[in-house]
Amino acid sequence: MTNYHRWQRKIILESLEEDLGPDGDITTDYIISSEKKQSFILKAKENLIVAGLNVFVDVFKIVDKNISVKKFFRDGEEVKKNADVIEILGKVRSILKAERTALNFVSHLSGIATLTQEMVRLINNTPVILLDTRKTTPNLRYLEKKAILSGGAKNHRFNLSEMLLIKDNHIAACGNVKNAILTARKKCKGKSKRLKLEVEVSNIKELKEAILCSPDVIMLDNWKIKDLKNAIRLIPKKILTEASGLITLKNIREYALSGVNYISTSYMVKNARWMDFSLEVSPSLSRAM
């Protein structure tokens, strides 16, 4: 089992504990036979891009390893309203105990994937790559970043260990852009693994200073489109460029046409709404013991 799988299992267990409380699902336990089995269908109640199916299934499997599952879609696929997404067969008690936790995950993650896909489509036919950020729900980053992949965008760094990204507070603490970059490079000397170096700039002065230091990527944070276009003209082609901040559905295409290589944004996490699913009994496929 990988570290991510261990982490996912831990998140699911804690989520189930939160939902079940100290005495479990007392309603289900009181009125449903412990041996009754039935088939349930996960239905999409609106058009969407589905994501989080593996964690949806894992919730049921953790509650009851004997539950059987049949998927009709994979993460990243477009699902039409009223389509059957997954069939679940097993003990009704187990299914009902897992239902809300599983639905919460798939609804949230499909919302992110659906909004991400909308943003990706808006920049079709441009060379720009859409990236996410570290602005994610605490403890759900891995799942949310997977949902962003399902929506067609790419992941920026997953955590602070993956690359050198010098931001405004680093620059302020070091005095200026040059000092921050040179200090980082000095610390990197002799390291067996070359770390990618990106620097955030907020004005032309910082931009010119960064260009002289030749980082791998320059992030232009919170630049208006007109200023961004002027800045791009100053940057050598060997240095990749990234626009971040101020990105919305209304302006993302204009930013994509500015000449940048990447657009990074948390918009698809912060503004995604949950997609509507239901888990319904399927009488034609049910069976009892």
- CA-CA distance, 249 to 58, in Å (whole number)? 33
Can you tell me which residue has the tokens 């989520």?
15
Residue type for 263, please?
I
Q: Which amino acid is at 234?
A: L
Closest Cα partner for 151 from 205, 214, 60, 75?
75
Q: Would you call 135 a catalytic residue per the annotation?
A: yes
Contact assessment for residue 51 and residue 76, using Cβ atoms and an 8 Å cutoff: yes
Q: How far apart are CA 129 and CA 58, in angstroms?
A: 31
123, 253 contact by CB (below 8 A): yes
Token pair listed for 229: 């276009």
Contact (CB, 8 A) for 86 and 109? no
The conformational region for residue 246 under phi > 0 = left, psi -120 to 50 = alpha, else beta, is left
What is the Cβ-side half-sphere exposure of residue 75, based on CA atoms within 13 angstroms?
25
Which tokens belong to 52?
Answer: 């989080």
Residues 6+ apart with CB under 8 A from 212: 178
89: which 2 tokens?
A: 């067969």
Annotated active-site residue in 10, 36, 135, 205: 135
The two tokens of residue 168 are 């405004």
Q: Which of 55, 73, 72, 66 is nearest to 92 (CA)?
A: 66
Residue numbers annotated as active site:
135
